[in-house]
Structure 1
Amino acid sequence: MDAPLPLRSERASLHLFRTLPGDMAPRDMQDLMAFPFFSLAKSPRIVPIDFEAGGVTIRVEASAEHGLATIWDADILIWAASHIVEARDAGRRISRRMVASPHEILRFIGRGTSIRDYNRLRAALNRLQATSIMTSLRQSAEKRLHRFSWINEWAARTDSGGQSDGVELVLPDWLYAALLNDALVLTIDRAYFSLTGGLERWLYRVVRKHGGHQRRGWRFEFRHLYEKSASLSSFTRFSLELRQMARRQPLPGYRLSVERNRDGIEILVFARARLSTPSCGLPVNPLVPSCVDKHVPSRHRDTCYHASKTPNQDVKTGGYGTLNLDSNLKESNFVDVAGAPGLWISQEGTP
């Protein structure tokens, strides 16, 4: 028997989509890959993200208690997207109301399954639910804005005997609509989950979205990438890390290099690595349609368009050596019952 649902919950009106365990290709959403929606920092970020370019407006706000959802928290959204698209393609009935065991979620995104990992999952769910996004992306009118949270609500389910029956969450309409559009979803390399740095993860998603399988690759000025990332680190620090990545080559399936144009401006060049295939074993879609209202020029010998400077302030940040799994861990008061994780404090709300 399912746990009683709150009277004000929207879950009662939605079909319950129970995911199935098993390997499948990870899918990511192009909107989330192309624009700055997540914090790249290890420490909690409260400073909002403000971004405007090409007719697209984005503002992401955090709660003081939880901070902004991080790029590591976005792994949960990739898990959700992967299961929804896989089930839809298989002819199964899908819904934005999903339920799965925490163990299945953690294994899919390459995490451990210790009590500490379950606590981290709970903290990530809280940040996803508490983060507020307002954007003009995919709105019928250019100046029309849509406000939502990455997760409308989530809850731990228990059966009649008080045993864990998984974790249930409800995705927002804005996100779910993107998953039903094949042109807005891309397969990513499973090795992405092993990338430890926030900037590495963000850059892979940008490269995968813009570069795809283009033989001659893509180019971005360092300054444009900096503005596009909404990073709080200084531009000097950001540029140093780009150069270091070009030396280390951490991005699966792609090669990075740094060039200078006639004015001495540094440019990051990325192209598909030879004889590289996605670790998931499935081909990726080489077609990468633009989600921006206005066309973005793409010329192999020139840089891409320039974005307007965002008002994000510069602060010093630490290096990127490990996964951001402990952010706001103080909020994770997990209760272990008979060795089985399951009794979490449910979180719900509306944007």
Structure 2
Amino acid sequence: MRARRTFARAAEQLDLFVGVGGDIAARDAQDLMAWPFFSLAKSKRVKPIDFRMGAVSILVEATAEHGMATIWDADVLIWVASQIVEARDGGRPTSRLIAATPHEILAFTGRGTGKAGYERLRAALDRLQSTSIATSIRQCGARRRHRFSWINEWRERLDEDGRALGIEMIVPDWFYEGVLDRALVLTIDPAYFLLTGGLERWLYRIVRKHGGRQKGGWSFDIAHLHLKSGALSPLKRFAFDIREIVRRQPLPGYRLALDHELGRERLTFTPLPVDPFDAAMRRIGMAPVEKCG
């Protein structure tokens, strides 16, 4: 009861924003794509991410009860960003207080909408709410850090039989302001949600962020990628996993390759030509048709 009153008091300061529906482009926040904010493992992680590079500092801390928010949990934030941007571009008011149904979020992110899918969504919301972040990104002054959780608060509305009617959540200022900035959001391929590995999901996001649609592509030193991933695996294992991803070529829209310069291994990525039919299929959440002959 106390938690309900606390949520109600916070919600009183905000207008309720209801999503615009599911048939919209998927958008991701560039800051979340470029830096290590999430666990890449499906197993519970409680060890913090303590990342520093130049003026950028990120500290991500988890609770023992729920563990750190994962890159699969970040799908909820992609849904939120997509809804806010779609509404903003359509001239509709938005808010940090967002209402949704579990079905809307699960369907948009390509998840099952049965009971198990709903339970996993609840667990994801708990991890997003309990994970604490402190970062210098978008703060004035190198010593200033903004501290927040991915979801400040959330609550579930139930019918008399205990069935979920909907979810209301409050996202933090740091995330909301970044999404409202047109320069800090990118569209992503809906096929991203079909990627099953945490590392390949993270790799797609960083490739999309840095590679974009540049004809010449981009490249990263493997050791640098390892640092930016925040992964717990040692560099040797990380490099092995990257080589396996290069062998399989699972990232939608990009061709990956490895080269060696001065004895250092680098990952290169270049955009693939866009097939209009495949692009249309991806926009409606279908994998591209395999072409024969």
Q: Does the CA-based 8 Å contact 2:20-2:86 persist in structure 1? A: no
Q: Does 1:149 align with 2:149?
A: yes
The separation in 1 between residues aligned to 2:272 and 2:161, in whole angstroms, is 53
Deviation, 1:186, is 0.3
Match of 1:59 in 2: 59
> Is the aligned partner of 1:248 residue 2:258?
no
Larger RCO (CA under 8 A, 6+ residues apart): 1
- In the comparison of the two structures, how many residue pairs are matched? 277
- Name the aligned partner's letter for residue 266 of structure 1: E
Gaps of 5+ in 2: 285-293
Match of 1:202 in 2: 202
Q: How does 1:22-171 map to 2 (within 5 A)?
A: 22-158=22-158, 164-171=164-171
Match runs of 1:138-287 below 5 Å: 138-158=138-158, 164-261=164-261, 263-276=262-275, 278=279, 279-280=282-283
Tell me how far apart the structure 1 counterparts of residues 226 and 233 of structure 2 sit (CA, whole Å): 9
| Alignment partner, residue 19 of structure 1 | 19
SS of the aligned residue for 2:5 comes to coil
Quote the Cα distance in structure 2 between the aligned partners of 1:135 and 1:194: 30
Counterpart Cα distance in 2 of 1:5 and 1:16: 16
Once the 2 structures are TM-superposed, how far is the Cα of residue 105 of structure 1 from its aligned partner?
0.7
Matched residue, 1:344: none
1:242 CA displacement? 0.9
Measured after TM superposition, the shift of residue 157 of structure 1 is: 1.8
Secondary structure of the corresponding residue to residue 13 of structure 1: coil
Distance 1:65 1:163, change over 3 A: closer
SS of the residue 1:63 aligns to: coil
Cα distance, 1:267–1:89 mapped onto 2, change above 3 Å: same
Is 2:109–2:193's contact at 8 Å kept on the other side of the alignment?
Answer: yes
The structure that is helix-richer by fraction is: 2
Q: Distance in 1 between matches of 2:119 and 2:159?
A: 21
Determine the structure 1 residue equivalent to 2:290: none
How big is the shift at 1:175? 0.3
1:20 Cα offset (Å): 3.0
* Residue 246 of structure 1: how far off its partner (Å): 1.1
Structure 2 counterpart of 1:297: none
Mapped contact 1:49–1:230 kept (Cα < 8 A): yes
TM-score, scaled relative to structure 1: 0.76
Residues 132, 276 of structure 1: CA spacing in aligned structure 2 closer, same or farther, 3 A cutoff? farther
CA contact 2:249–2:256 (8 Å) conserved in 1: yes
Tell me how far apart the structure 1 counterparts of residues 201 and 99 of structure 2 sit (CA, whole Å).
Answer: 26
Amino acid at match of 1:280: R
CA shift for structure 1 position 17: 0.6
